[in-house]
Chains A and B, each alone.
Chain A
């Protein structure tokens, strides 16, 4: 009878596990990434017949080049991309913590860029530089906040779906920018830099400290710290978690859910607007409808990967930016000579396996066992 039982016992047992200690968490994640890298290497070898090691070295050098002159540019530009992605992730996070699915960071950032560009263009030559920068900053923050708060007001008043609403707002923002872009560029083929030549050279640009990247990087670092405090130490942050968990509990405690929604989206939008300023006045010095490059959406993934924790977001942003830079360099490398799509596939595999490891952190999979003495690590659900 015993033997027949074994034959019939299900092959796999899947059960929820109790929360793991942090080092196990880390170990499982590391194993996931390692597995992904091995799979990537295998794919590279089988499909492209290139040497995976050479591949990996190229990816690494894209962010951390061996040549010191190259290092300055590549490393800092990688950090700068990280900063922008981090800013947008920080922006969407407070809303996400209250389960308000804001996927409109792209549009909220674009209107920030637009207001900055308007200030830079219209005020150049008519006002002192500090006033232009001040107006751009306030304008960008206000524009982003307005773009964010409109869906929030509708959600609070009429219960509209915030995901669709914020998504639609992206298209409006993009068309709006496209409109101004066409007017501004005039007969030229592209807009070029705003205030990129004398007599208004660099008017309205954010000041440079150290190099062209450092100011933005510092702003992002400060924002990350402030966001940590806001989420984990402030009364607002506490309210966010309550609303996110249960609106019924929130109203039972006297929290006005509608107001919290509006307030949070004001903040979310404002940070996006500020990021817009950082892009247009701080780094790119131009504007077009694609200037945010989809990072408003990538930020959604970063925020989720980091479980809405600002500090983990730094890691998650780094991972994504690191891989993206690597992918770009592989595409332009003469020795490897393969198009960017293949490296995008590899990025996909890596991200998938990171998300996939979540399953193994929450659940325990055990094969059919022989003998009754086996001890399990599962938890009661």
Chain B
């Protein structure tokens, strides 16, 4: 291969935050006409490295060259003038403005919305985006907002694009669309960096992979010449098994009977329609579906957080007693002796209190215990010690506010707390979202342990590969309706994908031919 001049060269970059070294003498080269996947576990320094390229952080030492010339990137503005643009995980858009206004905002000179709209249409046509420049941002789906962010960067003339975990919020279909656009941009000669820790995406989209581990640059690989397990080993530093266990269900008994469940959200929109299924003890029931197909409402209905329009949810105890859950407050459901543990989608927003320490977060579930007015702090502290030990939570102490922990550790604290309360039914939503491989496998392992203890586990997931490997049965939701329930051992990804997009699952038979 002839010697190419890299679009960007990062040489010997070091960045520390206090006593934490985020990047340690990292070297990285980014080329035009190439998609580079930056791979690494949570906290391996991927985002920090890219933030230095986009002018958000300034390196402690080391240097950066763009097109062979040494540069100093001291602000995002400088980064833009060098053609470097970053699309962050959290969008930075003004909700009440239109796409065009958001894109034009912060540009030079007067606002020229009409010109902007025309130029946006050109960019869309060139790369295959679909977006209406005159639509308000608050009307947009997550994927549309992301599209606006990407166009914003292109509009300002960036030809080196950095995307920080762009697929974390997308459905498989939306991801495919994004990848198509990225390929178009690559073929157009742009340099693209995509930060991710999803192996299948790396294989699908990238030309080259650069791996970071614990802040250090491990090396790079040509995607075409590598495999998922080789990359994982490089990323984790030791060989790990990529298979998820699926122990045989132990004496499954019906535990939750849902019948004809219909739910409307606060705006009166129908979110669940006539949903019926059964969750059994000692089994993991997977729930698949495109984001927003009613998964959240389903779990919240069982936990008593959602108003149910019609239908019933019956809890069956071991001794055969039946309890109707619909119409009961979350606290009542707990008091009745029905043990529902709910791991909500939004870890910090709903399950935990970020400013409280681990022990106090354990206490959230149990603080009502005890007859008197005062809280008991000794037991939660013991629980916290136990969870930290058993789940290998990385934290300075149990008195550390959970906000200061990394995503994976926050998730372990939450799942750990729910498990400690010895549930009969464990509801989890996106339990591994944003977690690296090691943490994800810890969580899968925990769920399997619960299953073997006879807990009925309901697992709402987004990664079909995981669902197929983990769940005993998979219920597929489409637009608030059950489009099918498939045995885990017999489930095929293609079939699940089709069920996810087929309301009621009726047309499925015809398409199968």
Residues of B within 8 A of A254 (CB): 329-331, 334
Q: Is B179 an interface residue (CB 8 A)?
A: no
Q: Is A183 an interface residue (CB 8 A)?
A: no
Asked whether, in the complex, the Cβ of B74 is within 8 Å of the Cβ of A8, the reply is yes
Complex Cα–Cα for A249 and B343 (A): 11
Question: What residue in chain B is nearest A16 (Cβ atoms)?
Answer: B17
Q: B349 touching A248 by the CB < 8 A rule?
A: yes
A22 at interface, CB cutoff 8 A: no
Residues of A within 8 A of B70 (CB): 1, 4-5
Contact at B352–A249, with CB atoms within 8 Å? yes
A211 at the binding interface (Cβ < 8 Å): no
- A241 on interface, CB distance cutoff 8 Å: yes
Tell me whether B63 and A235 are in contact (CB under 8 A).
no
Contacting pair A241 B374 (CB below 8 A): no
B221 is an interface residue with CB less than 8 A from chain A: no
A10 on the B face (CB < 8 A)? yes
**At the interface with chain B, which of A34-42, A118-126, A193-201, A369-377?**
A369-377
B60 contact set on A, CB distance < 8 A? 372, 374, 376
Cβ-based interface call for B268 (8 A): no
Whether B75 contacts A10 by the Cβ 8 Å rule is: yes
A324 to B483, CA, bound (A): 72
Measured between beta carbons, the chain B residues less than 8 angstroms from A242 are 353, 364
User: Is B363 an interface residue, CB under 8 A from the partner?
Assistant: yes
- A372-B61 in contact given A254-B330, A379-B18 (Cβ < 8 Å): yes
Docked-complex contact B350 and A252, CB < 8 angstroms: yes
**A15: chain B residues within 8 A (beta carbon):** 17
For residue A72, CB closer than 8 A to chain B, the reply is no
Whether B349 pairs with A249 at a CB distance below 8 angstroms is: yes
Take A4-B72, A241-B356, A254-B330 as given contacts and tell me if A376 and B351 are in contact as well, using a CB distance cutoff of 8 Å: no
- Type the 1/0 row for A4-23, where 1 means its CB is closer than 8 Å to any CB of B: 11001110010101100000
- Residues from chain B with Cβ under 8 Å of A375 in the complex: 16
* Contact across chains for B353 and A233 when beta carbons are under 8 A apart: no
* B509 contacts the other chain (CB 8 A): no
Residues of B near A17 (CB, < 8 A) are 18
- Asked if B342 is at the interface of the complex by the 8 Å CB criterion, the answer is yes
- The smallest C-beta distance from A357 to any residue of chain B, in angstroms, reads 20
Chain A: minimal CB distance from B23 (Å)? 11
Do A5 and B330 touch (CB < 8 A)?
no
Closest B residue to A369 by beta carbon equals B60
A377→B16 CA distance, assembly (Å): 9
Interface contact B334-A376, CB-CB below 8 Å: no
B116 sits at the interface (CB 8 A): no
Q: Of residues 352 to 399 in B, which have CB atoms within 8 Å of A's CB atoms?
A: 352-356, 360, 363-365, 367-368, 373-375
Distance between Cα atoms of A5 and B342 in the complex (Å): 52
Whether A301 is near chain B, meaning CB under 8 Å from some CB there, is no
How far apart are the CA atoms of A254 and B75 in the complex, in Å? 46
**Cβ–Cβ contact B354 & A245, under 8 A:** yes
Is B155 located at the chain interface by the 8 A CB criterion?
no
For A245, the closest partner residue in chain B by CB is B353
CB-nearest residue of chain B relative to A6? B72
List chain B residues, Cβ under 8 A from A8: 72, 74
Taking Cβ atoms with an 8 Å cutoff, the residues of B that contact A are: 14, 16-18, 20, 22, 48, 58, 60-61, 63, 70, 72, 74-75, 303, 305, 329-331, 334, 342, 344, 346, 348-356, 360, 363-365, 367-368, 373-375
Q: A251-B305, A253-B364 are in contact. List 10 more A-B contacts (CB 8 A).
A: A10-B58, A233-B375, A237-B375, A238-B363, A246-B348, A249-B349, A249-B364, A252-B305, A252-B350, A380-B18
Interface residues of A (CB under 8 A from B): 1, 4-5, 8-10, 13, 15, 17-18, 229, 233-239, 241-242, 245-246, 248-249, 251-254, 372, 374-380
9 interchain pairs (CB within 8 A)? A4-B70, A9-B58, A10-B75, A234-B373, A238-B360, A246-B349, A248-B346, A252-B303, A254-B329
